[in-house]
Amino acid sequence: MSDYTPLDEISTIRDAVKAGFASGKTRNVAYRKAQLLQLAHMVKDNAEQMVSSLREDLSRPRLEAYFLELGAVLKEAMIAYKKVDKWAAPEGVPFSITTSAMFGKVYKQPKGAVLIIGPFNYPYWCTLTPLIGAIAAGCTAVVKPSELSSASMKLLVELLPKYLDQDCYRIVTGAIPETTKLLELQWDHIMYTGSGMVGKIVAAAAAKHLTPITLELGGKSPVIVDKSADVTLTARRVLWAKMANAGQTCVAPDYILVAKDKHDALVEALLETYEQFYPKAEGGAAESTSFARLVNQRHFERVQKVLDRTKGEIVAGGETNATTKYIAPTIVKNVSLDDSLMEEELFGPVLPIIPVDSFQHAVDYVNTRDHPLALYLFCNDHKVKASVLEQTQSGMAMVNDLIISAGVEGLGFGGIGAVGMGAHSDKTGFEQFTHRRSTIHVPAWVDLLMKFRFPPYSSRKEST
């Protein structure tokens, strides 16, 4: 508890970042670039400590820490650093003979002092990537990381003040009471990443002040495996994406819908890949340094309970250890659509495989559920690809690969419907925290052309 920000200090911290914004220093793009570089230095200089904190919180393997989190943050910071001059520049309007004299322009104004709330699973990426967007846009910010990844949270508390301007970028730590206090205050934008249940609490709190929000939530992201798919490639990529961070990834493939004819071949390929990833001779996943653990006892029990209730056939894994919060990478075949594994977002290392008649059957099923954060399709048939993408909606869609779209420059990261609204990463992060202010500057002589607008109105004026 002592690691948490005292409740009576929270509004003072909010007032401080409001004053930081009012000081006007974040309007200066050179200042923003200096802060973005500082953030990049923070990650670079302290990468090893960050890797250790991720190991402490989630037993996160080193490669995953770099590839899926720290490297991704660094890349975001450097993209924003290089592009912010262009992003922040005013935009002209298309030429028009009747309005060009009014010098229409869109100015990119920072929204103000913003609140960023993060989840436990990617404690750096989910707080620092939004913060990069806020800094680039010229906002000041308070960051509230998850209390569940406490080692990462403590490291952020130590590092942020060393690298970033404390007048403008502050951190508040805590759990529900501290976040509730933050949400009672007025902000100029709130970016929240976490569960949908808490997303509704955030949205309700923001509505009281009519504060704009970005919600990055979770859900069940499906993998559709068409009969034209390469099963070996599918197995390798899906198993990696599912088991990274022990399944605790918002865009993890939640379940597979596979064409009946391909079910057995896919299961076979997954088992071969499983043995390659976690060789039995080396102690399997339990002894592997390439496999993480559940974050805490509550999440361990949550996953254990749905696994206990499945009527599917466990063909790999299934072992658990409450003391170490270990749930083996688990593959369950012949799962039915009303199985326990199909109720909520799994957010753990369990992969259900559901045989379906055709890709159309898979699409119809996906369309009965909330739109997913990511939709994954494995196929080598252009018509199937076009049809699936045309008939479905999702935050993001990836064909023949998974979860790595956030690494593609120019692409934002965000949901739709129950998995969120708005996005971050690259220019989209900047845009969330920016107000596009439409502006004109009209010379006196324009009245020669537009004098007709002034009363008294007459039928002669109406006819012009």
Least distance from C-beta 12 to ligand NAD, angstroms?
20
d(CA 321, CA 288) in angstroms, rounded, equals 15
- Residue whose C-alpha is closest to residue 260's, from 343, 342, 333, 350: 333
Comparing CB distances to ligand NAD, the nearer of 18 and 144 is 144
Cβ closest to ligand NAD, residue 262 vs residue 299 = 299
Residue 178 CA to residue 176 CA, distance in Å, equals 6
Cα(240)–Cα(234) distance, integer angstroms: 10
Minimal CB distance residue for ligand NAD? 218
Say how far apart CA 286 and CA 297 lie, in whole Å: 17
- For ligand NAD, which is the closer residue by CB, 123 or 312? 123
Token pair belonging to 287? 């002894």
Specify the 3-state DSSP secondary structure of 109: strand
Tokens 């390798």 -> residue: 236
Smallest distance, ligand NAD to C-beta of residue 393, A = 15
Q: Which two tokens stand for residue 279?
A: 């060789």
CB nearer ligand NAD, residue 296 or residue 387: 296
Annotated active-site residue 379? The verdict is: no
**What is the closest distance, in whole angstroms, from the C-beta atom of residue 85 to ligand NAD in the complex?**
27
Closest C-alpha to 221, from 259, 193, 247: 247
Q: By CB under 6 A, name the binding residues for ligand NAD.
A: 117-122, 126, 144, 146-148, 175-176, 179-180, 193-195, 198, 201, 216-218, 250, 345, 347, 373, 415, 420
If one counts every other C-beta atom within 10 angstroms of the C-beta of residue 203, the result is 15
Residue 345 is a catalytic residue: no
User: 6-27 burial string, b = 16+ CB within 10 Å, else e?
Assistant: eeeebeebbebbbebbeeebbe
Residues in Cβ contact with 249 at an 8 Å cutoff, skipping those fewer than 6 apart: 68, 121, 122, 241, 403
Helices of type H across 46-121: 47-58, 62-65, 71-88
Q: Least distance to ligand NAD from the beta carbon of 128, Å? A: 13
Cα-flanking dihedrals φ and ψ of residue 71, to 5°? -60, -40
Q: Which is nearer to ligand NAD, 35 or 121 (CB)?
A: 121
Distance CA 137, CA 88 (A): 7
Residue 382, helix vs strand vs coil? helix
213-216/189-193 β-pairing: parallel
As a whole number of angstroms, the distance between CA 116 and CA 192 comes to 6
CB closer to ligand NAD, 194 vs 355: 194
Cis? peptide before 161, omega within 30° of 0? no
CB of 252 to ligand NAD, least distance (A): 8
- Smallest separation (angstroms) from ligand NAD to the CB of 410: 18
Which of residues 116 and 307 has its CB atom nearest to ligand NAD in the complex? 116
Catalytic residue among 76, 216, 345, 431: 216
Out of 250, 345, 379, 431, the active site residue is: 250
Residues with catalytic roles: 216, 250
